[in-house]
């Protein structure tokens, strides 16, 4: 392993240890603050493309927010736990957690966090694509596009949806027409 990866592993272990010590010493509102800090740390790792190598703290945070959190906090906790599973190579568990997070979202509320919901659908689409589940990928891209439009953003990129459609077609349909003509000669 290279030195850079060792630093990430040591950093993640230190974060886990700090989190466990902090959570053990918390009660009431300070426990909520500690759980929000766990989510913020995981979100920071995720946004900086640093793999989340453990799910222990995120499991605790997700359980806490499932019983004490708002719909947006539950969605965010499930999203980050799914990202941890994705980084650990556990695609089925990531998909399951992300789908649970989608059910936590309250899309009728005026303060619904559509950007996180769209990210959940985007990660689902990418994971479905990796698993060669193209019809599921298309539906996830469609849902992500709706969520981004609900958030006031421009329509979702059509290239991503087109990639799934392209993969679903029969192999002979995937060839460019000019290539097919050249092969017949």
Amino acid 129: pLDDT: 86
What are the pLDDT tens digits along the chain (185 aa)?
555 555 555 566 556 555 555 555 555 678 899 999 999 999 999 999 899 988 889 999 999 999 999 999 999 999 999 999 999 999 999 999 999 999 998 888 888 888 898 889 888 988 988 888 888 888 887 777 766 655 555 444 444 444 444 445 444 444 444 443 444 44
Residue 12's Cβ-count burial label (10 Å; 0-12, 13-18, 19+) is middle
Q: Do the Cβ atoms of 121 and 147 come closer than 8 Å? A: yes
Q: Do the Cβ atoms of 30 and 64 come closer than 8 Å? A: no
Cα dihedral across residues 80, 138, 88, 52: positive or negative = negative
CB neighbourhood size of 89 (10 A): 9
CA-based nearest residue to 78, from 107, 133, 119: 119
Collapsing DSSP to helix, strand or coil, 33 comes out as helix
Identify the DSSP state of 131. T
Amino acid 74: pLDDT: 96
Kind and range of the H or E run holding 68: helix 56-68
Amino acid 146: pLDDT: 66
Q: Do the Cβ atoms of 82 and 46 come closer than 8 Å? A: no
């Amino acid at each position: 392993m290279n030195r850079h990866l060792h630093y990430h592993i040591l950093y993640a272990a230190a974060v886990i240890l700090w989190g466990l010590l902090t959570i053990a010493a918390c009660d009431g509102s300070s426990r909520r603050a500690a759980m929000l800090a766990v989510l913020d740390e995981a979100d920071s790792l995720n946004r900086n493309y640093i793999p989340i190598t453990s799910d222990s703290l995120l499991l605790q945070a997700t359980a806490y927010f499932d019983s004490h959190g708002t719909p947006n906090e539950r969605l965010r906790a499930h999203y980050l736990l799914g990202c941890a599973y994705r980084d650990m190579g556990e695609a089925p568990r990531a998909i399951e957690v992300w789908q649970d997070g989608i059910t936590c979202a309250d899309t009728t509320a005026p303060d619904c966090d559509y950007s996180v919901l769209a990210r959940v659908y985007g990660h689902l689409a990418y994971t479905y694509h990796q698993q060669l589940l193209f019809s599921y990928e298309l539906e996830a891209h469609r849902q992500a596009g709706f969520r981004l439009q609900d958030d006031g953003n421009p329509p979702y990129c059509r290239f991503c949806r087109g990639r799934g459609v392209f993969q679903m077609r029969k192999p002979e349909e995937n060839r460019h027409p000019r290539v097919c003509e050249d092969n017949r000669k």
